[in-house]
């Protein structure tokens, strides 16, 4: 399904004027909701200005409440692999809604979606949740329950949802037990979390040397995407898999972002499937929900068999495996064939080259990094290997770049540390809108101080 979902009538988008209606809604939102948003990444705090309130979306395009159209390079932060309002996904969801929306009993689409996930990925069994946060939280509980150990190792700059134990701050150095990264998380919740620099084998070896027989699991994004895209260095995930095995700890890859997005098998399709290793547990979300709240964790049959009601580790959810969400996810995954990934890959290749050319022309220091079809643009010299490198990105230059793109009908992530997402609906018109906007945005970035 790589064809655009609907032909566009107009050839040029409405010029972006003052977003009056968005501003009025934002004022109302701020009065009743902290920061006016229901997830912090949606706010414009990092770039300034007013977040656009989106009234509708079709294919690669968002339309805001002022009637402005934008090429969407957020794609709901990953889920919309086929673009917005895909006709077949919509039809399947509408048919499912007509049959009722939640029963609190097992249903057919849960089984079919689980089978689809098992067929594509290294997991043998899977359990659904409603969010990626719940999936990682549950995977950690299961790893602790299975091993009878408590310590969890994670990497600075890897985001695993807002799980207390995983919101530990960066910068704590080699194998130091972490301090909480946010008020509201007690030290007792992160006191068993070890935070290490990403892509640093020596740090991992030192942590296992110190805590080895206490480590329940090591959790890592299969390829880091939440500090911008920072792929694991070749062999890094294989090394993690091996050192976990050696110490009797479980290796947990978080594919909430990369799953069914980086490739049809997730990031594992790039390394594990080729190199011949499998993670013990994997978490999924985003694409597998087809734009609805659905996520999952899965893995080795013997580990998953420890979950209630088969085993003693408790985990549950009133809306887990919801029939509408699993129908949307199943329909999305069934449509996500090789052609879809090839289309997104080609679109990403075109945009990456054009961004780099535009920034180079203005002398703006930058690095473009990829993980399968995902990519991001750091406004700093590369390579970016870890969170410390990513933190050097020029956020003022990015803010200027972001607003210049927005004015030219392109909605980028309002943060310098995020991946840019494309879909199979990003057709020539959408891509050329992005390409046309780039030279002026690069000039704005240079003027804001991004020139090397």
Ligand X SMILES: *Cc1c(COP(=O)(O)O)cnc(C)c1O
Active site residues: 159, 254, 286
- Angle, CA of 416, 370 and 326, to the nearest 5°: 90
Determine how many CB atoms are found less than 10 A away from the CB of residue 16.
18
DSSP 8-state assignment for residue 69:
E
- Shortest CB 87 distance to ligand X, Å: 25
The CA distance from 326 to 83, in Å, is 18
> Which residue sits closest to ligand X, CB atoms considered?
132
Q: Which is nearer to ligand X, 61 or 268 (CB)?
A: 268
Angle between helices 87-98 and 323-335 (to 10 degrees): 160
410-411 and 69-72 beta bridge pairing: parallel
- Going by C-alpha positions, the residue among 389, 417, 62, 113 that lies closest to residue 259 is 113
CB-nearer residue toward ligand X: 159 or 260: 159
Buried b (16+ CB within 10 A) or exposed e, 348-378: bebbbebbbebbeebebbbbbbbbbbbbbbb
Interacting residues with ligand X (CB under 6 A):
131-133, 136, 159-161, 221, 225-226, 254, 256-257, 285, 295
Q: Identify which of residues 228 and 285 has a Cβ nearer to ligand X in the complex.
A: 285
- 100: CB partners within 8 A, 6+ apart: 323
Contact 388, 230 (CB under 8 A): no
Least Cα distance to 282 among 136, 381, 145 occurs for 136
The angle subtended at Cα 425 by Cα 262 and Cα 342, nearest 5°, is 40
> How many Å apart are CA 396 and CA 405, to the nearest integer?
14
CB of 283 to ligand X, least distance (A): 7
Q: Kindly tell me which of 61 and 155 has the beta carbon lying closer to ligand X.
A: 155
CB of 297 to ligand X, least distance (A): 11
Rg of the chain taking only CA atoms, in angstroms: 22
Partner residues linked to 368 by β-bridges: 377
Round to whole Å and give the CA distance between 144 and 253: 15
How far is 254 from 34, CA to CA, in rounded Å?
A: 28
Smallest distance, ligand X to C-beta of residue 78, A: 7
């Amino acid at each position: 399904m790589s064809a655009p979902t609907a032909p566009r009538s107009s050839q040029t988008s409405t010029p972006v004027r003052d977003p009056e209606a968005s501003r009025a809604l934002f004022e109302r939102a701020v009065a009743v909701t902290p920061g006016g948003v229901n997830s912090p990444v949606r706010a414009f705090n990092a770039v300034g200005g007013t977040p656009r309130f989106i009234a509708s979306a079709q294919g690669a395009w968002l339309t805001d409440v002022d009637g402005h159209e934008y090429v969407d390079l957020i794609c709901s932060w990953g889920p919309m692999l086929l673009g917005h309002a895909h006709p077949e996904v919509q039809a399947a969801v509408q048919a499912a809604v007509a049959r009722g929306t939640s029963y609190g009993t097992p249903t057919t689409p849960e089984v079919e979606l689980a089978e689809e996930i098992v067929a594509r990925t290294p997991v043998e069994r899977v359990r659904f949740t409603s969010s990626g946060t719940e999936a990682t939280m549950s995977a950690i509980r299961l790893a602790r329950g299975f091993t009878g150990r408590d310590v969890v190792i994670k990497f600075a700059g890897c985001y695993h949802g807002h799980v207390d134990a995983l919101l530990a701050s960066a910068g704590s150095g080699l194998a130091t037990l972490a301090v909480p990264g946010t008020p509201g998380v007690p030290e007792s919740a992160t006191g068993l979390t070890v935070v290490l620099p990403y892509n640093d084998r020596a740090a991992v070896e030192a942590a296992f040397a110190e805590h080895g027989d206490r480590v329940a699991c090591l959790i890592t994004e299969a390829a880091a995407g939440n500090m911008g895209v920072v792929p694991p260095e070749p062999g890094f995930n294989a090394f993690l898999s091996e050192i976990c095995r050696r110490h009797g700890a479980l290796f947990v890859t978080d594919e909430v972002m990369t799953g069914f997005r980086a490739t049809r098998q997730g990031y594992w399709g790039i390394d594990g499937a080729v190199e011949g290793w499998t993670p013990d547990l994997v978490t999924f979300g985003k694409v597998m929900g087809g734009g609805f709240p659905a996520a999952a964790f899965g893995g080795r049959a013997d580990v998953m068999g420890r979950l209630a009601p088969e085993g003693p580790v408790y985990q549950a959810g009133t809306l887990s495996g919801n029939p509408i969400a699993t129908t949307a996810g199943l329909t999305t995954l069934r449509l996500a064939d090789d052609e879809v990934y090839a289309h997104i890959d080609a679109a990403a290749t075109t945009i990456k080259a054009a961004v780099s050319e535009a920034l180079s022309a203005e002398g703006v220091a930058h690095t473009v990094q990829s993980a399968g079809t995902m990519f991001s643009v750091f406004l700093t010299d590369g390579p970016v290997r870890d969170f410390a490198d990513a933190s050097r990105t020029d956020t003022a230059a990015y803010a200027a770049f972001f607003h210049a793109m927005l004015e030219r009908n392109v909605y980028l992530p309002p943060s310098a540390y995020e991946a840019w997402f494309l879909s199979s609906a990003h057709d020539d018109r959408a891509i050329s809108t992005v390409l046309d906007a780039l030279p002026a945005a690069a000039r704005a970035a240079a003027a804001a101080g991004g020139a090397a």
